[in-house]
Amino acid sequence: MLRSRITPCLLVRDRGLVKTKNFKPFKYIGDPMNAVRIFNEKKVDELIVLDIDATSKGLSPDFTMIKKIAAECRMPLCYGGGIKTVAHAEHIVSLGVEKIAISSSFISNPNLVTDISLKIGSQSVVVVLDVKKNIFGKYEVYTHNGTARTKNTPLELAKLAVKLGAGEIVINSIDLDGAMSGYDLVLAKNLRDVVKVPISILGGAGSLNDMRSLINVCGVIGAVAGSLFVFKGALQAVLINYPSNTEKDSFLENH
């Protein structure tokens, strides 16, 4: 039986763990390997690691770093950043990564989703859509760390990605990135109603109550967070954390 997942998302830049707000400032917060070890101990459902520099700088995936993270990781791992070819995806999976995530490569070459899914299976192909509202208040997908417009809506791109073979969609809110003020429930519900593969929502989570609200509105869905699982308190002291099984079960049991 499917149930909602509570997933930390780690952002990596120059092999260091960083955090952003609205995709702009970069705050170094430590070694990603230390975070992975702590998440191992806390038995997280899944872990997403995104190299936010790879695509914007035109770099290939950092296979050495990926190998180290995959070897340390005891939970299902999804990696994204710089994946431009089927060979990239196959090599990353061979290192022990369960899922690969693509974003700008999907926009520039949609058929890459099909090509990769035929090689490693659609269940291992995740399309990440970075979304923000334009000046007219309409949702639009951006790439390259939120700097390049696509002029496409997340709904139409999500449906295309699924049609081409994506097994999961992650919606990442640029407007709510690092805000810790709650998820965009309207956007999440709109996507959940029409996209039939697993969906995860990233951006805005500031508490477990925010995750509870997301699940109550959308049913079975992935609740992903960055700041919530790396910061603690009003001053945002760095503290890697994750809810206990009891805390999770308290609001997942009915979903």
Q: What span, in angstroms and rounded, lies between the C-alpha atoms of 200 and 220?
A: 10
- For 5-252, the fitting CATH number among 3.40.190.10, 3.40.50.920, 3.20.20.70, 3.90.78.10 is 3.20.20.70
Percent of the chain surpassing pLDDT 90: 85
Assign 173 a pLDDT band (cuts: 50, 70, 90): very high
- Asked whether the CA dihedral 98, 92, 100, 240 is positive or negative, the reply is positive
Give per-residue pLDDT as tens, 105-141. 999 999 999 999 999 999 999 999 999 998 889 999 9
Handedness of CA 255, 37, 124, 210 (dihedral sign): positive
Measure CA of the first residue to CA of the last residue in the chain; give whole Å: 10
Whether pTM > 0.85 for this model: the answer is yes
Structure tokens at 33: 């390997």
User: Out of 26-30, 31-35, 85-89, which region has the weakest mean confidence (pLDDT)?
Assistant: 26-30
A 10 A CB-CB count for 72 gives 16
**pLDDT averaged over every residue in the chain:** 94
Please give the backbone phi and psi of residue 100, each rounded to the nearest 5 degrees, phi first.
-115, 145
Residues serving a catalytic function are 130
Reduced to 3 states (helix: H, G, I; strand: E, B; else coil), residue 207 is coil
In the chain, domain spans: 5-252
Q: What pLDDT was estimated at residue 71?
A: 98
Condensed to tens digits (0 to 9), the pLDDT of residues 60-97 reads 999 999 999 999 999 999 999 999 999 999 999 999 99
Residue spans of alpha helices (H) in the chain: 32-41, 63-72, 86-94, 104-108, 111-120, 154-164, 185-194, 208-218, 227-230, 245-252
Residue 209 makes CB contacts below 8 A (sequence gap 6+) with none
Contacts of 9 (CB under 8 A, 6+ apart): 47, 48, 49, 50, 202, 224, 225, 226
Pairing of strands 16-19, 5-13: antiparallel
